[in-house]
Amino acid sequence: MAKIEVRRIDHVTVNVTDVARAKAYYGALLALEEVPRPESFDFPGAWYRIGEAFLHLVGQSQSDPPTSKHFALWVADAKTAAQALEAAGHKVRWAGHRIPGVARFFTADPDGNSIEFQGPEK
């Protein structure tokens, strides 16, 4: 049997109802680098580069139902990130289960998609 050799995560897709609002969150607030989408993608959305991986926003007519599914972003300073998100009106919930050496919290984008932020514990 052939062996599957996974090399990396290429991208994560997040459904959003308002692409402009999502771009303000991911592009302006989180300062992610927006990159061009293929011209053949004739539906609403945006792409962002995060290191070697990508975040794909896809415009949908309805939000996904709330769930514990999430993706995690590593930041230089979790406390500073939490303060910036709270100042912008986003609720922050610090994680109850600790990871040694890691500060982490959860928040949601404007469509309610769950995001975990992690950074070095200081």
Alpha helices by DSSP H, listed for the chain, are 19-23, 78-87
Domains of the chain: residue spans and CATH? 11-120 (3.10.180.10)
CA dihedral 93, 99, 103, 105 (to 10 degrees): -20
The low-confidence residues of the chain, meaning pLDDT below 50, are: none
Give the predicted TM-score (pTM) of the model: 0.93
For 96, residues 6+ apart whose C-beta sits below 8 A from its C-beta are: none
Per-residue model confidence as pLDDT tens digits over 53-71: 999 999 999 999 988 899 9
At 122 the pLDDT is 85
Which helix (H) or strand (E) segment holds residue 97: the answer is none
